[in-house]
Structures are given as C-alpha cells and as structure tokens.
Amino acid sequence: MPMTSGMVMPQATSTGVQQQPQASASPTMQGMQMQMGSGQSMSGMMTHTIVYHDEASSKEGLVVNMNAKPVPYKVGSPVAFNFFVNQKPGNIPVPVTDLQVNHQKLMHVIGIRSDMNEFFHVHPTISPDDTAVMTIDHTFAKPGRYKIWSDIMKDNIGHVFSHPEISVQGDGPTENKQVSLDRVVLADGYQVTLKADATIVKNKLAIISFDLHTAAGGLVEIESYLGVPMHLTIIKDDWKQFIHAHPGMMMQMLTPTPAPAPRTSWFNSLIQAAYAHDVTMANGSIPILDFYLNFPETGLYRAFVQFRPKGSTLPPDEAITAAFWIEVKDKAPFPIPQWGFLLMVSIVSMLILSWAVKKYLKVKPEDVSFVRERSER
Ligand SMILES: [Cu+2]
C-alpha cells in the first residue's frame, strides 16, 4: 500500500470559505517501514496534492455536487444523498470509476451539526442508476443545521468539497453546544486521552497524540481502520477550517525516529503532517500516534479521533469516535521563571510587612516621653 504525503495547495475559490491550504514539501521518507495489523509492510510513498473547493462557487474543473432527498429532511427517516461527480462548465459526468480509491474508498463524506456534535463519517457507493453518482442513505438522529464535506481523489490529486449546509427538521433542540476542554473523554467504554501542550497556539507546531485505555485503565490494542491505526478529523466551530486526516496524511511522517524539525513551508495549514511512532500493532505493542498540527486561526476546534479496538465486533467500516474540543490561542501565556516568581513574592511580602509596621507599630510621642521619664528616673 503506498503512502501518500500531503503536498497541498491553496484552493482557488473566491469565497474564502474553507481556506485549507497548505504547503508543499514533504519530509524525506527514506527507509521507513511500518507493520500493519495484517502484517504487510509499508514503505515508499507518493506525493499528492489536495485542493479545497467550495461547491457553490466552483464553476470550472472537477466538482462534486451534492443532492439530498426527500425534502424536507426529517429526523428518523433516511435521507438519500447523491454526490454527482462532474466536470464544469457543462456538468459533464465523470464516471466514478475514473476516481482513485483513496484509503480504501472512492469517496469519504464527513458531516457535522452546527453545535459540533452529531459527527458522521460515511462512505457512499456507486449509484446503480448513474455511473457518475456516489450515493448513501443517512438517517439523522437530531434536528438542526448540518455541514457536509466530500473527499475524492482523481489523477493523484485529492479534492475536498465543502457543500452548502442543510437543515434537518424534527423534535428536540437543534443545538446543544457544550464546550469542555477536558482532555480525557469516554467513548463507547474506552478512555481516550488527548495529549498536548497546555496551551495550543496558532501558527505554531502542536504535537497531539491520543492514549487509549479501557474504562478500568487497562491497555487497549487497536487494529487497522481503513488502513491506518487512527483517523483524525478536525473542524473549526465556524466550519471554515476542515481537515480529514486520512491515512496518507496521517502516515506521511511515519517514521520510527523522532519527527523531523518543522519546516516553515509547512505553515498555513491546519494539519501539515501527522506522524506516528511505535506503531507495531501486529506484535501487540501499544500504538502511540503523534499528529503534527498547525492551527491557522485562533478559536475553538473539534477533533474527532476514530479507531477500532483489536477484535472489534463493529462492522468493517465503522469505528469508535472520541471527540475533543481544542482551544487555539493567539499567544502562549507569559512564562514567569521561578526566581521571578519568588522575587515577586518577596517584594509583595515586604510591602505588606512595611504597611503593617506603619499601621500597628506607631510610636506615640507620650510613649517616648514616658520612656524618657523612666530612663531619667
Ligand atoms: Cu473516510
């Protein structure tokens, strides 16, 4: 299985939505190998470009147009999503067999509700009626506004399309946004811990990894999910930053040695690269996966990490999803060295002490004369 590396270019849309663009230059990958669950060894790689498009403003080139019915969309009843792959102008159908299988699928679709809950990651299949259409039924469990992205690959170029938001009707609240910056979450009985610096700063390399344990604290082995140990999707809460870190992206930095130093050319992308080490799932050691991320804007992001515990009884394409909130700040907190802290404590103590002395230890003139009298006596 070839690994891919993200050589990603800025999109050319005019709306500015979904600026997700990226840099070039992948680190050297010589001599890297990885044992996958199946025992196959992975080495070598190819480079591909990812282009981000906004469906509504895409008037030329390869476009995926999303169509969903029946309208109105309702909670609890399946919505049939069609993704029409075509060439613009002219809407010339592109047979989906012209697409490349990317991470075991011809198309990946990610959706999220406006409150950043209700995440889904699904894989449409070729429509029996139209060779240029990928189709999938999705049943929404909760009403609200949803945003959907599709992800395809053609001619070694990855394309991510941001589709217009849709509204799903039904009973119950349409939003339930609860931001918690907890770094330990429970997902289907597994304890997932996000490990990162206390403060994540924009445009500064952030190294993030996830630790898996059972709820009781036991170790968890994972098996390959769509070809890699973990998938990471990160979406900003305004839907303007999106990355679907698929195996290629995740593994582009895969190396058994420490990560290469970040290059300046990697900046301006949410995730320039991801990096994993100690991934020897076949022999049972615990995978540790480091993602090397660069958040381009301050604000709140939601990270969805997906994995399959070894021996999982989930259907083959499904995984457990753990969701985290990540706050990205403009600046790191000002670091006060320990001696500086002690100096401040000393100065403050001295001020308090001198104030107390002035207030309570006043020497009155009569006391002075009394003392004088006594001494003169
Ligand atoms: Cu997928």
- Residue 135: the pLDDT is 98
Among 40, 119, 105, smallest CA distance to 247 is for 105
pLDDT of residue 375: 59
DSSP H or E run through 291 = strand 288-293
What's the rounded Cα separation, in Å, for the pair 291 and 82? 32
* pLDDT (0 to 100) of residue 367: 63
Q: Which of 38-47, 57-66, 198-207, 224-233 has the lowest mean pLDDT?
A: 38-47
Cα of 320 vs centre of ligand 1, distance in Å, is: 13
More confident residue, 357 or 259: 357
DSSP 8-state secondary structure symbol assigned to residue 282: G
Rounded Cα gap, residues 59 and 274, in angstroms: 32
| Spacing, Cα 256 to ligand 1 middle (Å) | 26
Closest CA to 304 of 244, 228, 229: 244
| Å from CA of 112 to ligand 1 middle | 14
d(CA 192, CA 187): 7
61 and 94 Cβ atoms separated by less than 8 Å: no
Ligand 1 centre to CA of 120 (Å) is 10
Residue 365 CA, ligand 1 centroid: distance in Å: 87
Q: How confident is the model at residue 240 (pLDDT cuts 50, 70, 90)?
A: confident
Instruction: Tabulate helix, strand, coil % of the chain (nearest 5).
Output: 15, 40, 45
Q: Has residue 66 got a pLDDT over 50? A: yes
Tens of pLDDT along 293-333? 778 889 999 999 999 988 889 988 889 999 999 999 998 87
Dist. CA 347 → ligand 1 center (Å): 58
Across 77-91, 219-233, 276-290, the highest mean pLDDT is recorded for 77-91
Question: Does the N-terminal peptide bond of residue 10 adopt cis geometry, omega within 30 degrees of 0?
Answer: no
- The strand pairing partners of 49, in sequence order, are 157
The rounded Å distance from CA 243 to ligand 1 centre is 12
Whole-number Å distance, alpha carbon 202 to ligand 1 midpoint, is 27
Could you tell me the fold of the domain covering 7-329?
Answer: Immunoglobulin-like (2.60.40)
Which pLDDT belongs to residue 264? Answer: 27
pLDDT level of residue 363 (50, 70, 90 thresholds): low
Among 194, 198, 110, which residue's Cα sits nearest to residue 146?
Answer: 110
Please check the confidence at residue 258 and state whether its pLDDT lies above 80: no
Q: For the chain, give every domain's residue range.
A: 7-329, 339-376
Residue 117 has pLDDT above 90, yes or no: yes
Tell me the one-letter amino acid at 72.
P
Q: Is 50 helix (H, G, I), strand (E, B) or coil?
A: strand
Determine the pLDDT at residue 105.
92
d(CA 272, CA 252): 10
The band of 365, judged by pLDDT with boundaries at 50, 70 and 90, is low
In 3D space, the residue among 208, 228, 229 whose CA is nearest the CA of residue 220 turns out to be 229
With 0-12 CB in 10 A as exposed, 13-18 as middle and 19+ as buried, what is 342?
exposed
Q: Of 3-17, 181-195, 322-336, which has the strongest mean pLDDT?
A: 181-195
Joined tokens for residue 68: 């969903």
Rounded distance from Cα 360 to ligand 1 centre (Å): 73
